[in-house]
Amino acid sequence: MLSNLSQRPATRAFLLDPDRCVVQRLLPLTQYPDSSVRRGGVVGTLRNCCFEHRHHEWLLGPEVDILPFLLLPLAGPEDFSEEEMERLPVDLQYLPQDKQRDPDADIRKMLIEAIMLLTATAPGRKQVRDQGAYLILRELHNWEPEPDVRVTCEKLIQVLIGDEPEHGMENLLEVQVPEDVERQLQQQDRQEQEQCERVQQALELAPETQAEVAAPT
């Protein structure tokens, strides 16, 4: 319910009011173990709030510190080098060997999308890079079994490791895309989605095919 309401600007303004501390109270629920529905609702709400780029500095700053809460459900039990470990927020360092990523693919995708929105501005991209998000996303990409989530992860990684946009285009949420380019991008997205669906169907059919081959004649 809250996730749906947060699609409205007025609701996001309420949630992002620094004096109310609503967002800060939602953050721990990204790890709520008893209900994927509740986790998904909270993550969806946070993602919608990240559309408000004017609040990115506050969200990423010490008052909220949203990034570790978005990255932690995406992190596994990876053993980073000491140098890499020092780049990560404290809450993401030296995670236990039994650390599990969020089991819900839709939630993982929304978490990645939220981080992607936080990289819409140059200061946001710098803060996300400086907190070692690439390291978590790199390992997630290597592990991720769902093709569409992996594609979303790839796009975010490209933003983090790519060159900065030219002057005047630093805010990716305000860039005016020509109609022909937008159509090409939409077509590319549709093709990627269709490819993901074909891969997913192939993966789902694979056990049945193997069973048919293994069955006695």
CATH at residue 12: 1.25.10.10
At CA 30, angle to CA 24 and CA 32, rounded to 5? 115
Position with higher pLDDT, 58 vs 176: 58
pLDDT by residue (tens digit) across 61-70?
Answer: 999 999 999 9
DSSP 149-161: HHHHHHHHHHHHH
In a domain, 31, yes or no: yes
Chain-centroid distance of CA 70 in Å reads 7
Q: CB-based contacts of 143: which residues, under 8 Å, 6+ apart? A: 76, 101
In a domain, 188, yes or no: no
In a domain, 187, yes or no: no
Average predicted confidence (pLDDT) for the chain: 84
Number of structural domains (the chain) is: 1
Flag whether pLDDT at 212 surpasses 70: no
pLDDT by residue (tens digit) across 77-115?
Answer: 998 999 999 999 999 999 999 999 999 999 999 999 999
Side-chain-side CA neighbours of residue 196 (13 Å) = 15
Residue 163 DSSP label: P
In a domain, 157, yes or no: yes
CB 64 within 8 A of CB 104: no
In a domain, 10, yes or no: yes
Q: CB-based contacts of 199: which residues, under 8 Å, 6+ apart? A: 147
Q: Which pTM was predicted?
A: 0.78
In a domain, 199, yes or no: no
In a domain, 6, yes or no: yes
In a domain, 184, yes or no: no
Range of the domain at 169: 2-175
pLDDT by residue (tens digit) across 117-161?
Answer: 999 988 999 999 999 999 999 999 999 999 999 999 999 999 998
